[in-house]
Amino acid sequence: MHPVLKTVLQRLALGLMTLFLVSVVIFSAIEMLPGDFTQAVLGQAATEETVTAFRRELGLDQPAIVRYVDWIGGVVTGDFGTSFSGRAASGVDRSREVIALIAPRLENTLFLASMTAIVAVPLALFLGITAALWRNTAYDKGVSASTLATISMPEFFVAYILILVFASLWPVFPSLANVRPDMPFWERVYRCILPATTLMLVIVAHMMRMTRAAIINLLAQPYIEMARLKGLPARTVILKHALPNAWAPIVNVIAFNLAYLVVGVVVVEVVFVYPGIGQLMVDAVTNRDIPVVQACALIFAATYILLNLMADIISIVTNPRLLHPR
């Protein structure tokens, strides 16, 4: 078997094992959450018999291992269960399938993440490469200082500053990103500009600094010195000799930040009241909606694992020592 294919299969098996272990952690953590959905719905005045009957109706009277097996078995078949929201002890069931609740919210989050990534990734690579190319110049110091300042500020602070400046003092963009499925594309883009800018300022800083560090490290290698001695232009040395060999660390940090756009977007969605999966999870935790919390957490974990797996594969494929084994 080719070394690259073998390594990819090993990474895939490791990713599936990690996802299984994460599912156990998610289920166990939710089991330890304080409070009880049945008690929250019925109130403190409910009798023990009523609480017991309601728990039996929801399946919460089963042992934890049985509920975990039922849950993970459904996930494997694409069934995340039924939301507890809308369930009442009166027997009236207005609940919805978890997948029906998550699908439109996940679509909104992916839209915001894609909108941010389309601008952030090329911008970060450009800033990182040019800062490395003009190292220790005023440009390099200015870009490095700006990105360091951006990293140092929490997301909610950046979000509120943008709202203050561009939605209050100079009302150019709306402060609330209340998008709807029937909204025109450019209207949705317009309403997402402030949350996308908040995310972009954070991830551009991380990716730019990693790109700069990787390029500078490679510029000290002997083959780069040889390329310079041959009289090749600095742009050619960077783009054709240094950048291809710097892909491994750069791709990993890009994957990490793209995963953050889906997983770490909770704070931004809450600040801008954006109807994404992050805000759905916050609401589900507040309402003790266990199936929705489990599904959201598992989707977040799968996103991290999948993007890191893709980064590993790209790093392996671009590694000459694996592509050309001795």
Least confident range from 85-94, 110-119, 136-145, 213-222: namely 85-94
What domains lie within the chain, and their CATH numbers? 3-76 (no CATH), 98-286 (1.10.3720.10)
For the stretch 306-324, pLDDT in tens is 888 887 777 777 665 655 5
Measure the CA–CA gap between 203 and 172, rounded to whole angstroms.
Answer: 24
Instruction: Indicate whether 7 pLDDT > 80.
Output: no
| Average pLDDT of span 36-60 | 72
pLDDT of residue 193: 92
User: Among residues 92, 69, 95, which one has the least CA distance to residue 284?
Assistant: 95
For the stretch 186-225, pLDDT in tens is 888 999 999 999 988 888 888 888 888 888 887 777 877 7
The most confident of 39-43, 63-67, 221-225, by mean pLDDT: 63-67
**CB-based contacts of 220, cutoff 8 Å, min separation 6:** none
For the stretch 292-309, pLDDT in tens is 888 888 888 888 888 888
Query: pTM value?
Result: 0.82
DSSP line for 257-318? HHHHHHHTTHHHHHHTT--SHHHHHHHHHHTT-HHHHHHHHHHHHHHHHHHHHHHHHHHHHT
User: Among residues 214, 213, 211, 188, which one has the least CA distance to residue 274?
Assistant: 188
